Amino acid sequence: MQGGSSGIGYGLKYQARCISDVKADTDYTSFLTGTLSLKEENEVHLLRLSSGGSELICEGLFSHPNEIWDLASCPFDQRIFSTVFSTGESFGAAIWQIPELYGQLNSPQLERIASLDAHVGKVNCVLWWPSGRCDKLISMDEQNIFLWSLDSSKKSAEVLSKDSAGMLHSLSGGAWNPHDVNAVAATGESSVQFWDLRTMKKVNSIERAHVRGVDYNPKREHILVTAEDESGIHVWDLRKAKVPVQELPGHTHWTWAVKCNPEYDGLILSAGTDSAVNLWYASASSTDEKTSERPVESTRQRVNLLLNSYTDYEDSVYGLAWSSREPWVFASLSYDGRVVIESVKPFLPRI
């Protein structure tokens, strides 16, 4: 429908779920994405947006031994990234390094720096220290959360501490608080839980079922955004976590992922299984105004909140990433392996 043709597309060979912004690459706007194919040779693609911003170039193509369920680029070294993979029967997580001079090699091999092999269950995600050079990592499986120390030169990683969320919670993903590096949020079956990494204990939780995605607002402390299967997107203030401060309708089907823009406060991107990516604007000021004349306010918000809906996808969209270098650019990845880069510049004046 609207804005369909504006995106820059790139096709992966197989189905795929995850895409990550290469934060450490300061020269180019790059993204890493990995395929999810049970039976075929899986690949990791390093994509670069051409300087004109009109083309998406494949900078590197690396084979990956297993299907990739999660992929995260290291925030301080553009050649390092983590994956969570599955052999079909078991799950694993590893840190990889893209070889130097990969452009000149014929079939460059990824170098496995470390294996995060303390997990037994289904691994969900690997989180990097939110900013700056730090060797700390977090990995989660359905029941446990691990804090790792990575030594990239020695090519090893060791567990610093761990905690178990308990059988019932069955964690599914998480986010590291960029404002407080000791706090990590994890989504579970029936709640969003928060850990303090110093004590490695659960400190808080939001009772909310079926949360798929979670993201901290990098511009405003205490603000967390969650994406839920049926009930859309919620914005929370962690100081009063009983009730969400704002509610966005989300998607026609499940809302799968949600990402806050790293630069523009209140700009939220969500991806859903209704083959759409929605751009929202959840302004902080409007949440403050709410005390007075709520009905009028809320109707007004409902009208204005959705800035745009990108619907040029053939399948469910699972992967979503803002570029940190050009914060008005985001990459989305639908299940059929199509990467679409879009710019939200036309909507920025409306904020």
Nearest approach, Cβ of 220 to other proteins (angstroms)? Answer: 15
Q: Provide the CA 242 distance to its chain's centre, in angstroms.
A: 25
Total chain residues near other proteins (CB under 8 A): 38
Asked whether 137 and 150 are in contact (CB, 8 A), the reply is yes
Nearer to other proteins among residue 94 and residue 282 (C-beta) = 282
One-letter identity of residue 81: F
Contact characters 39-58, other proteins, x per CB under 8 A: xx------------------
First to last CA, the chain: 22
Task: Assess 314 for contact with other proteins (CB under 8 A).
Answer: yes
Nearer to other proteins among residue 25 and residue 142 (C-beta) = 142
Nearer to other proteins among residue 128 and residue 254 (C-beta) = 254
Task: Assess 30 for contact with other proteins (CB under 8 A).
Answer: no
Going by C-beta distance under 8 Å and a sequence separation of 6 or more, which residues neighbour residue 127? 72, 137, 138, 139, 140, 174, 175, 176, 184
Q: Kindly tell me which residue out of 246, 261, 278, 323 binds other proteins, with binding defined by CB under 8 A.
A: 246
Asked whether 42 and 33 are in contact (CB, 8 A), the reply is no
Q: Kindly tell me which residue out of 42, 273, 334, 343 binds other proteins, with binding defined by CB under 8 A.
A: 273
Task: Assess 176 for contact with other proteins (CB under 8 A).
Answer: no
Starting at the edge strand that comes first in sequence, how are the strands of the sheet with 29-35 ordered? 16-21, 29-35, 42-49, 56-64
Asked whether 280 and 305 are in contact (CB, 8 A), the reply is yes
The footprint of other proteins on residues 199-228 (CB under 8 A) is 207, 210
Q: Kindly tell me which residue out of 254, 280, 281, 310 binds other proteins, with binding defined by CB under 8 A.
A: 254
Task: Assess 316 for contact with other proteins (CB under 8 A).
Answer: yes
Nearest approach, Cβ of 40 to other proteins (angstroms)? Answer: 6
The token pair at 134 is 């730090």
Contact characters 71-110, other proteins, x per CB under 8 A: ---------------x-xx---------------------
Cα–Cα dist 219/190, whole Å? 27
Contact characters 108-147, other proteins, x per CB under 8 A: ----------------------------------------
Task: Assess 252 for contact with other proteins (CB under 8 A).
Answer: yes
Residue carrying the six token digits 């494949």: 58
Task: Assess 243 for contact with other proteins (CB under 8 A).
Answer: yes
Starting at the edge strand that comes first in sequence, how are the strands of the sheet with 211-216 ordered? 211-216, 223-228, 232-237, 246-248
Nearer to other proteins among residue 274 and residue 342 (C-beta) = 274
The token pair at 322 is 């803002």
Question: Based on the number of CB atoms within 10 Å of its own CB, is 249 exposed (0-12), middle (13-18) or buried (19 or more)?
Answer: middle
Q: Kindly tell me which residue out of 12, 335, 340, 343 binds other proteins, with binding defined by CB under 8 A.
A: 335
Residue carrying the six token digits 């790139």: 10
Stretch that binds other proteins, among 36-44, 130-138, 158-166, 340-348 (CB under 8 A): 36-44
Cα–Cα dist 242/14, whole Å? 42
The token pair at 310 is 């990108």
Asked whether 68 and 84 are in contact (CB, 8 A), the reply is yes
Task: Assess 1 for contact with other proteins (CB under 8 A).
Answer: no
Task: Assess 229 for contact with other proteins (CB under 8 A).
Answer: yes
> What is the phi/psi pair of residue 137, to 5°?
-135, 155
Stretch that binds other proteins, among 44-52, 58-66, 108-116, 248-256 (CB under 8 A): 248-256
Task: Assess 230 for contact with other proteins (CB under 8 A).
Answer: yes
Nearer to other proteins among residue 39 and residue 239 (C-beta) = 39
The full DSSP string for 136-155 is EEEEEESSEEEEEEEETTTT
The token pair at 153 is 């030169």
- List residues near other proteins by CB under 8 A: 14-15, 38-40, 86, 88-89, 170, 207, 210, 229-231, 234, 242-247, 252-254, 273-274, 287, 290, 294-296, 298-299, 302, 314, 316, 335-336
